[in-house]
Structure 1
Amino acid sequence: MEHYKLNRKYKDRLFRIIFREKTALLQLYNALNNSHYTNPDDLTITTIDDVVYMGMKNDLSFIIDDVLNLYEHQSTYSPNLPLRGLFYFSAIYREYIEPVKHQLYTETPLQIPFPIYLVFYNGMKEEPERKELRLSDLFLQKSQSQTPALECTAFMLNINLGHNRELMEKCKTLKEYAQFIHAIRCQIASGLFLESAVENAVNECILKGILSDILRKNRAEVIDLILTEYDENEFRDFLKEDSWKKGHEAGVQEGLQKGLETGIQAGICELIKTCAEFQLSKEQTLKKIQNGFSLSEQDAWNYIEKYWQD
């Protein structure tokens, strides 16, 4: 089966498909703000499809009750999110005042919507439920006595399955999105390549009523987007690292129960088997053992010769 090479240019479009309808977007907004808006037309969409810099795209933005909400989905953490937010807001505000731009040079103050910037994170790196990122943290010079001329604050929410449970219960669509991504990862973890993993996850979620309407109506589009935006290699690297940790932890636990020496040997054996299963070379396994168990190169080779199974 063909192993797809991923194109990051189109990354994060699935999130937009799911929440591009005003009804779903309003549900998400209400869940985040404990509000009770019922009319989707209260939203004024301000999303910019081809925004300003390095091919970045503005995922979702809208105005409601004089608040400009910028929602971005990310599967890769970056401390530069506030800087990107600055570019997004600049582009959106510029378009917003275009009809009255001549007033920029008058004595009359221009009234603009209050900005809120939320980032929905579902990457493999462990992150807290909520994290605040500030543009000022990126400045080369920091001063306690001066206030910077610019600031942009991004609030990052972890939307991996099992995180921010209260929010997930309030927004059924967001919870189902997390379940769908989790289903894909489970299929990959079972040993399938991405194309088969996505097909199986789509079928499974439709049967379970998870994003079923969206997946039925947009099946081909969703599958195509996942195949281009999902970082399969990153997830497989995570599985390898996670397996290594579990092997090491197994050795520690075994050591506590049966004695340190026996436990360490069990952990080394588990690690070697895991490395072999994931097709790491003996040289790569050697480094893992040396780093994880503080062994000499010769001792590490002895364990590999003892436990390696081709």
Structure 2
Amino acid sequence: QYKDRLFIFLFGKEERKEWTLELYNAINGTDYTDASAIEINTLDNVLFMGMRNDVSFIIDGNLSLFEHQSTFNPNMPLRMLEYLVDLLRRYCEEKNYNYYMASGIPLPNPRFVVFSNWEGDNQDERTLRLSDMFMNPQEEVSIELYVRVLNINHGYNKHIMQRCRPLLDYSIFVDTIRECRGRGMDLGSAIDRAIDGLPDDSMIRGLLQSNRTEVKGMLETENDAKKVLDMVYYNGKVEGKAEGHKDVAKLYSILINEKRHDDFEKALSNEEYMNQLLEQYKLL
């Protein structure tokens, strides 16, 4: 079982669909009130480097795909496209739709949103386009996909925060952790300080306090994965190794989730050792 990330824990659970709805209303300017109308359909086991599709759901004929990012990723349009294809395939299977139907298949309208709190972001909002990734972006293309990227660092998108108190609390919580870490506090202590420092009227404080150990596990896993992803991004070694073996990325995911970081780093620089690990996990 892979640990949930905190964003999923707060906004992607059946038992907290009222927060999912509040977030949806806040970013879309809508006023839906019936949380039971939300049909959560997040993909399971869609993993890369320990990460997975975060939250997806349907309400009133609209399919929303929410993703949380703590680092900037210009490839999100492609990632969202992959998620969308899988979600629509499953949607058609569940509805017993078939591609050879005489009438057109009624599909929900897709909306793609990334909630970003990467450090140094100073824009409230930006848009990523699939067409910007094409080799000849100036030419007309037959497909387009837009991803709305919203900055949820504390102090940004105040109009959204005002309409979604759980998101505001989450923003304050993350900001406090960063502030404490900047003063040299270890991650566990920073999490404790951030939980207990939330306002008395915070909507998420009680939940985080009663699930303190689980919350720490989620954030420690996210932190470990981020360190490895940052390392991979800067040295570019994963791409080189993955070219010759489609299961290398799966191996790296396993190593991260099992916290075998020394083995991960050794596998990056030692192909023979990487093959040993592939055999160990029966991935060859």
* 1:78 to 1:124, Cα distance in 2 relative to 1, 3 A: same
| 1:1-310 paired onto structure 2 within 5 Å | 13-19=5-11, 20=13, 21-51=16-46, 56-100=51-95, 103-144=98-139, 146=140, 148-205=141-198, 209=202, 211-230=204-223
- State the one-letter code of the partner of 1:122: N
| Alignment length (residue pairs) | 224
Give me the whole-angstrom Cα distance separating, in 1, the residues matched to 2:168 and 2:56. Answer: 20
Give me the whole-angstrom Cα distance separating, in 2, the residues matched to 1:189 and 1:232. Answer: 19
Shift of 1:201: 1.7
- Unaligned runs of 5+ residues in structure 1 are 1-8, 238-310
Give me the whole-angstrom Cα distance separating, in 2, the residues matched to 1:233 and 1:80. Answer: 16
* 1:52 to 1:102, Cα distance in 2 relative to 1, 3 A: farther
Give me the whole-angstrom Cα distance separating, in 2, the residues matched to 1:106 and 1:232. Answer: 44
Give me the whole-angstrom Cα distance separating, in 1, the residues matched to 2:200 and 2:138. Answer: 57
Give me the whole-angstrom Cα distance separating, in 1, the residues matched to 2:226 and 2:60. Answer: 42
Shift of 1:196: 1.7
* 1:74 to 1:52, Cα distance in 2 relative to 1, 3 A: closer
- State the one-letter code of the partner of 1:42: A
- State the one-letter code of the partner of 1:168: M
Give me the whole-angstrom Cα distance separating, in 1, the residues matched to 2:125 and 2:91. Answer: 30
Shift of 1:126: 2.0
Deviating above 6 A after TM superposition, structure 1's stretches of 4 or more consecutive aligned residues are 231-234
Give me the whole-angstrom Cα distance separating, in 2, the residues matched to 1:170 and 1:41. Answer: 19
Shift of 1:89: 0.6
Shift of 1:142: 3.0
Give me the whole-angstrom Cα distance separating, in 2, the residues matched to 1:103 and 1:162. Answer: 47
Structure 1, 79-88 or 100-109: larger mean CA deviation: 100-109
Give me the whole-angstrom Cα distance separating, in 1, the residues matched to 2:95 and 2:44. Answer: 22
After superposition, what is the alpha-carbon deviation per residue over 1:227-285, rounded to whole angstroms, capped at 9, x for unaligned? Answer: 22136997xx9xxxxxxxxxxxxxxxxxxxxxxxxxxxxxxxxxxxxxxxxxxxxxxxx
* 1:95 to 1:192, Cα distance in 2 relative to 1, 3 A: same
* 1:52 to 1:151, Cα distance in 2 relative to 1, 3 A: farther
- State the one-letter code of the partner of 2:173: F
Give me the whole-angstrom Cα distance separating, in 2, the residues matched to 1:116 and 1:191. Answer: 40
* 1:187 to 1:156, Cα distance in 2 relative to 1, 3 A: same
* 1:232 to 1:114, Cα distance in 2 relative to 1, 3 A: closer
After superposition, what is the alpha-carbon deviation per residue over 1:157-199, rounded to whole angstroms, capped at 9, x for unaligned? Answer: 0000000011111110100000000111111122212122112
TM-score calculated relative to the size of structure 2: 0.72
Give me the whole-angstrom Cα distance separating, in 1, the residues matched to 2:215 and 2:155. Answer: 23
After superposition, what is the alpha-carbon deviation per residue over 1:5-46, rounded to whole angstroms, capped at 9, x for unaligned? Answer: xxxx86x71001111210110111111122221111111111
Name 2:261's counterpart in structure 1.
none
Q: Which of 1 and 2 has greater Rg? A: 1
After superposition, what is the alpha-carbon deviation per residue over 1:49-72, rounded to whole angstroms, capped at 9, x for unaligned? Answer: 222766541111111110001111
After superposition, what is the alpha-carbon deviation per residue over 1:88-129, rounded to whole angstroms, capped at 9, x for unaligned? Answer: 111110100014566202331101000000000001132411
Give me the whole-angstrom Cα distance separating, in 2, the residues matched to 1:191 and 1:208. Answer: 28
What RMSD, in angstroms, separates the aligned Cα atoms of the two structures? Answer: 2.4
* 1:106 to 1:54, Cα distance in 2 relative to 1, 3 A: farther
SS in 2 for 1:23: helix
* 1:54 to 1:229, Cα distance in 2 relative to 1, 3 A: closer
- State the one-letter code of the partner of 1:23: E
Shift of 1:153: 1.0
- State the one-letter code of the partner of 1:111: P
TM-score calculated relative to the size of structure 1: 0.67
